[in-house]
Structure 1
Amino acid sequence: MTQETPEIVWDFPSPFIYETRVEKQHIDDFQHTNNVVYLTWMAKTAWEHSKALGLDFAAYAKINRGMVVRRHELEYLAASREGERVLIGTWITGNDGRLRLRRRFQMVNGDTGETLLRGLSDFVCINIATGRATRMPPEFVSTYALTANVEGDN
């Protein structure tokens, strides 16, 4: 008997999706995935999307610019447990073309289709050598184009 894959209802169309599985080391004393793990998965998903777009750390280093997190917001909606498949969708929903970028995230239990978390991360462009905020290079403006329109994010 095979298990049917549930239909996933994403908050916005066409997410970039990173898939992972809850492992024993992710579980806390409450026997569900620890909150910090979700944040780690958000960061991993953002980085995997950036690399898929052609902006890995080598590309960042070449132009001495990078995007770093300024703020995270996470809303935990349901627990996940060891062995469960988790799909993390991300969208670029804000890019002012100067300094700031916003990503939204949705984590879904791949076995049930239930949304586990909604979150967002705000990023700032920096000069890698100095660590100071600086204007985005043209590569960031074009490559980090919006993938979903969310009122108030841009």
Structure 2
Amino acid sequence: MNNVFTFKLSVSKNEIDYLNHVNNVIYIQWVLKAAELHWAKLSTEAINEKFVWVVFRHEIDYFLPGVLGDEITVNTWIGASSGAKSERFVEIKKGNKLLAKAKTTWCLLAVESMKAVRIPSEILILLK
């Protein structure tokens, strides 16, 4: 895993469902937050004025439940990028235990037209 971006969080009461564990929708929110925070670190204001990423597909596997008060580590990194699409991987862990992993395919849009565009070289360099 090259260029891994990591952030930590604590499971709060509003993230718990009726089964007393982290709701599956919350994991998707964490996946999105990982992408948002990582992209904010990589990108520039000039790039963000011209381009925006949108989700094309999410794939997520759940292995163990997270519960109230758990200290969670979220790791993300970028996979293959070509055409208008880029893959992003996320692992959600409690200590050394993998709670969930995700693969999201993102599509790059031009802000002006809101249509898919081939990822320009200035962005491809950031994704490596």
Say which structure is richer in strand. 2
Corresponding position of 2:103: 120
Corresponding position of 1:22: 11
- Letter of the structure 2 residue corresponding to residue 109 of structure 1: K
The alpha-carbon deviation at position 121 of structure 1 amounts to 0.5
Q: Which runs of 5+ in 2 are unaligned?
A: none
> Post-superposition, which runs of at least 4 consecutive aligned residues in structure 1 deviate over 4 A?
none
Corresponding position of 1:101: 86
Corresponding position of 2:61: 75
- Structure 1 residues 93-139: Cα deviation after superposition (integer angstroms, max 9, x where no partner): 1111x3110011111003xx210001110011111122111122222
d(CA) in 1 for partners of 2:71, 2:60:
19
- Letter of the structure 1 residue corresponding to residue 77 of structure 2: W
- Letter of the structure 2 residue corresponding to residue 105 of structure 1: V
Larger Rg: 1
TM-score by length of 1: 0.77
Q: Which runs of 5+ in 1 are unaligned?
A: 1-11, 146-154
The 5 A counterparts of 1:30-109 are 30-53=19-42, 55=43, 58-62=45-49, 64-96=50-82, 98-109=83-94
RMSD over equivalenced CA pairs, Å: 1.5
**Percent identity among equivalent residues?**
26
Say which structure is richer in helix. 2
- Letter of the structure 2 residue corresponding to residue 73 of structure 1: E
Tell me the SS of whatever aligns to 1:17: strand
